[in-house]
Amino acid sequence: MTATASTTAPVADARALGLAHYAARGVLAHVLARHGTTFRQQIALRAAVTADAPQTPDDLITQVRGSLKADPADIRATLDELLAKQLLVADDAHLHPTETGRELIAALGAETAPITARIWGGIPAEDLAAAGRVLALVTGRANAELAALTA
């Protein structure tokens, strides 16, 4: 009788998702630290830079809260940090990214692009599609559970 090696793929679950998230976030945190930026600052600044129209502080808080599920007061403090660093500027009721803020987001993108390519490269398209479907489903369900808990 011949022994055969079993190659069982790991099952996707909350732990696997968390480990992947924190591994990737650890890479990003390393890059952000070199630029003196926090994860939350980068998320808020990116929201301002990529917006189609000028955003009010409340608009940005809503966007960031939707992504990070963070406390609005903490997000407002992050916006204040970005204003103090002159990465955002206030103009009447709106916040606009400064040229320095835009340059920072571009630099972060340029620095993380090759890392992202190494991490994601070589994964078959059908695996990425399947993972995307599962992650979208998990995100929707988790958002619904959070909404029920906070209602």
pLDDT along the chain (151 residues), means of 10: 62 91 96 97 97 95 94 97 98 95 98 97 96 95 93 85
Taking domain 32-112, whether its CATH number is 1.10.10.10 is answered by yes
pLDDT score at 4: 53
* Tokens 């009010």, located at residue: 56
pTM of the model as a whole: 0.87
Please name the helix (run of DSSP H) or strand (run of DSSP E) that holds residue 18, with its range, or none. helix 14-34
Side chain identity, residue 61? I
pLDDT score at 151: 85
